[in-house]
C-alpha cells in the first residue's frame, strides 16, 4: 500500500522551486493515496532560527500548503516537532547510518561552506532525521525536488541496513523519491548553476510565493541571461544554464515540456520572452499568494489544523515506533 510523506523547512519565504518541485505534487498526490505533509521545524534549527519567529514561520509554510490546495480533511498536515517520535527514531538511525555514508552528502558540503568545523552536528546528521521522518510512517513515496535525491538514497540504505542487522526483512519499506516533472530543479535567477533556495541571501535570486505582481515582473526582468536569442534545439539550450532555466520555468508553470516552449519561442530574444514569462508567472502565482495571505490572517485556524494533524500523525507513528523499540531491545 502506498503512503506519501514529505515536508518543507520553515527557513524563510517559499519560492517557485518549492512550489513546482514539491507543493504542486503534494496537492496532486493527496487524492491518490494516504498523504502526510509536515513542516520541518526540527530540520530548520540545524541552522540558527530566531525562536521568536519560528512558530510564525511554521504557520506560513502551513498557509502555503493550504493555498496550493492541500486539504486538511484529506491529507495529514502537522509540525514535525509536535511528534517527538521523529527524534526518537532518528537517534536509533544515527546508530544504523555509517559516517562514510554521511560524508558523501553534497548538501552538507554546500550548506556548511568553507568552515565545516563550525557547522552544527545537526546539519551533518540532518539526512538521518529525514530518514526517520519518512520511515516512522513506513512511507513508500516521497515527492521532493531533485536536490533531495541523494538523501532519499540514504534513507533506503538505512532502511535496508536496519532490516538486515535486526533480522526483520521487509520491516521498513525502501521508499522511492518522486522527482519527476519539469519543476524538479529550478535554478537561481542570479546564477544558473545554483538552485533556487529559501536560504539564498539575495531576494532577487528567487520568486517568492508572496511576491506581488510588480516584484515578480522586476525579478524576471533582472534575471541573469545571455544576449543570444533562444535557440532552435534542446542541446543548444542546455548549454546555456540561465536560458534553460527560464524556459524550464515557463514550461513547468504552463504544464508543458521545455521542447514545446522552445518550439514556440525559438529565435526570440529575452526582451520579448521575459515579459511573456512574467505574465504567465503572475497569472499562475498571484492567486496562490493571495490565498496564502488569506490563511495567514487567521492563525488560530492554522493552529487548529496543525494540532489536529499532529494528533493524527502521533496515532500512526506510535505503534511503528513501539515495534522498532521492541526490535532494538529497548526498555520502554
Ligand atoms: P533551504 O535553502 O533552507 O534548504 P530550500 O529552498 O532548499 O530551503 P527546503 O525546505 O529545503 O527548501 O525543501 C523543500 C522542498 O522543496 C524539497 O522537496 C526540495 O527538494 C524542494 N526544492 C527546494 N528547492 C528547489 C528548487 N530550486 N527546485 C525544485 N525543488 C526544490
Ligand atoms: Mg533545502
- Digit-coded pLDDT (tens) for 114-134: 999 999 999 999 999 999 999
Q: DSSP secondary structure string, 270-324? A: HHHHHHHHHHHHHHHHHHHHHHHHHHHT-HHHHHHHHHHHHHHHHHHHHHHHHHH
242: domain CATH number is: 1.10.240.10
Q: Are residues 23 and 137 in the same domain?
A: yes
Q: How many CA atoms within 13 Å lie on the side-chain side of 16?
A: 33
The ipTM is 0.98
User: How far, rounded to the nearest angstrom, does the alpha carbon of residue 129 sit from its chain's CA centroid?
Assistant: 15
Q: How many CB atoms lie within 10 A of CB 319?
A: 9
- Yes or no: say if 112 and 123 are a contact pair by the CB < 8 Å rule: yes
Would 192 be classed as within a structural domain?
no
Within this chain, do residues 211 and 86 fall inside the same structural domain, yes or no?
no
Digit-coded pLDDT (tens) for 230-239? 999 999 999 9
Torsion angles phi and psi, residue 102, rounded to 5: -70, -35
Residue 332 confidence (pLDDT) above 80: no
Contact 243, 225 (CB under 8 A): yes
Per DSSP, the three-state class of 33 is coil
* 194 domain-assigned: no
| Catalytic positions, written as ranges | 111, 195, 198
Specify if 313 maps to a domain.
yes
What sign for the dihedral angle of Cα 46, 50, 51, 54? Answer: negative
- Residue 222 marked ligand-binding: no
Question: Measuring from atom 26 of ligand 1, which residue has the nearest CA?
Answer: 17
* Total-model pTM: 0.95
Residues 57, 165: one domain?
yes
Q: Does residue 79 sit within a domain?
A: yes
State pLDDT tens for residues 244-293. 999 999 999 999 999 999 999 999 999 999 999 999 999 999 999 999 99
Q: Which three cell numbers stand for residue 320?
A: 511503528
User: Is 133 marked within a binding site?
Assistant: yes
Tell me how far the alpha carbon of residue 197 lies from the centroid of ligand 2, in angstroms: 7
Compute the distance between CA of residue 161 and CA of residue 8 in angstroms, rounded to an integer: 26
Judge if 257 and 210 occupy the same domain: yes
- Shared domain for 161 and 209, answered yes or no, is no
Q: Write out the residue range of the structural domain in which residue 232 sits.
A: 203-293
pLDDT-derived band of residue 318, with 50, 70 and 90 as boundaries? very high
The SS3 of residue 49 is: coil
pLDDT digits (tens, 9 = 90+) for 28-72: 999 999 999 999 999 999 999 999 999 999 999 999 999 999 999
**The pLDDT of residue 180:** 86
Distance of CA 280 to the CA centre of its chain: 23
How many domains does the structure of the chain reveal?
2
Distance CA 272, CA 263 (A): 15
Q: Residue 314: what pLDDT?
A: 98
Would residue 189 count as lying in a domain? Answer: no
At residue 13, the pLDDT reads 87
Of 244, 247, 239, 237, nearest to 273 by C-alpha is 247
Using most ligand atoms within 8 A of CB, pick from 106, 108, 147, 189 the residue to mutate for ligand 1: 147
Write down the pLDDT at residue 144. Answer: 96
Q: What is the pLDDT of residues 173-230, one digit of tens each?
A: 999 999 988 889 999 999 999 999 998 999 999 999 999 999 999 999 999 999 999 9
The CA distance from 209 to 284, in Å, is 10
Residue 161 lies in a domain: yes
* 199 has binding-site annotation: yes
Mutate to test the pocket of ligand 1, among 197, 248, 251 (most ligand atoms within 8 A of CB): 197
Q: Same structural domain for residues 130 and 72?
A: yes
Chain-centroid distance, C-alpha 124: 18
Strand, helix or coil for residue 219 = helix
Residues 16 and 123 placed together within one structural domain of the fold:
yes
Residue with CA at minimum distance from ligand 1 atom 19? 145
User: Are 284 and 99 spatial neighbours (Cβ–Cβ below 8 Å)?
Assistant: no
Protein residues with CB under 6 Å of any ligand 1 atom? 8-9, 11, 17-18, 21-22, 144-145, 147-148, 183-186, 195-199
| Confidence at residue 152, expressed as pLDDT on a 0 to 100 scale | 98
Cβ–Cβ under 8 Å, residues 23 and 64:
yes
Amino acid at each position: 500500500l502506498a503512503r506519501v510523506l514529505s515536508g518543507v523547512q520553515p527557513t524563510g519565504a517559499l519560492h517557485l522551486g518549492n512550489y513546482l518541485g514539491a507543493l504542486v505534487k503534494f496537492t496532486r498526490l493527496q487524492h491518490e493515496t494516504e498523504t502526510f505533509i509536515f513542516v520541518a521545524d526540527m530540520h530548520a534549527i540545524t541552522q540558527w532560527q530566531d525562536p521568536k519567529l519560528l512558530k510564525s514561520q511554521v504557520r506560513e509554510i502551513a498557509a502555503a500548503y493550504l493555498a496550493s490546495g492541500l486539504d486538511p480533511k484529506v491529507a495529514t498536515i502537522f509540525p514535525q516537532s509536535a511528534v517527538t517520535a521523529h527524534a526518537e527514531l532518528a537517534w536509533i538511525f544515527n546508530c544504523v547510518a555509517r559516517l562514510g555514508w554521511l560524508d558523501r552528502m553534497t548538501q552538507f558540503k554546500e550548506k556548511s561552506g568553507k568552515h565545516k568545523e563550525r557547522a552544527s552536528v545537526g546539519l551533518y546528521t540532518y539526512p538521518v532525521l529525514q530518514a526517520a521522518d519518512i520511515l516512522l510512517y513506513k512511507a513508500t513515496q516521497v515527492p521532493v525536488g531533485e536536490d533531495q535525491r541523494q538523501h532519499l538514497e540514504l534513507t533506503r540504505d538505512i532502511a535496508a541496513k536496519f532490516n538486515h542487522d535486526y533480522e526483520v526483512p521487509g520491516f521498513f519499506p525502501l521508499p522511492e523519491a518522486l522527482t519527476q516533472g519539469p519543476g524538479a530543479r529550478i535554478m537561481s535567477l542570479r546564477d544558473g548553476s545554483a538552485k533556487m533556495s529559501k536560504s539564498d541571501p539575495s531576494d532577487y535570486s528567487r520568486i517568492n510565493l508572496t511576491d506581488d505582481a510588480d516584484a515578480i515582473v522586476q525579478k524576471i526582468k533582472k534575471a541573469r541571461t545571455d544576449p543570444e536569442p533562444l535557440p532552435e534545439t534542446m542541446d543548444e539550450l542546455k548549454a546555456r544554464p540561465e536560458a534553460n532555466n527560464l524556459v524550464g520555468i515557463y514550461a513547468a508553470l504552463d504544464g508543458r515540456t521545455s521542447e514545446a516552449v522552445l518550439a514556440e519561442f525559438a529565435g526570440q530574444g529575452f526582451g520579448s520572452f521575459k515579459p511573456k514569462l512574467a505574465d504567465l508567472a503572475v497569472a499562475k502565482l498571484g492567486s496562490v499568494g493571495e490565498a496564502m495571505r488569506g490563511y495567514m490572517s487567521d492563525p488560530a485556524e492554522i493552529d487548529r489544523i496543525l494540532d489536529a494533524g499532529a494528533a493524527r500523525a502521533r496515532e500512526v507513528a506510535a505503534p511503528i515506533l513501539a515495534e522498532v523499540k521492541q526490535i532494538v531491545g529497548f526498555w520502554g
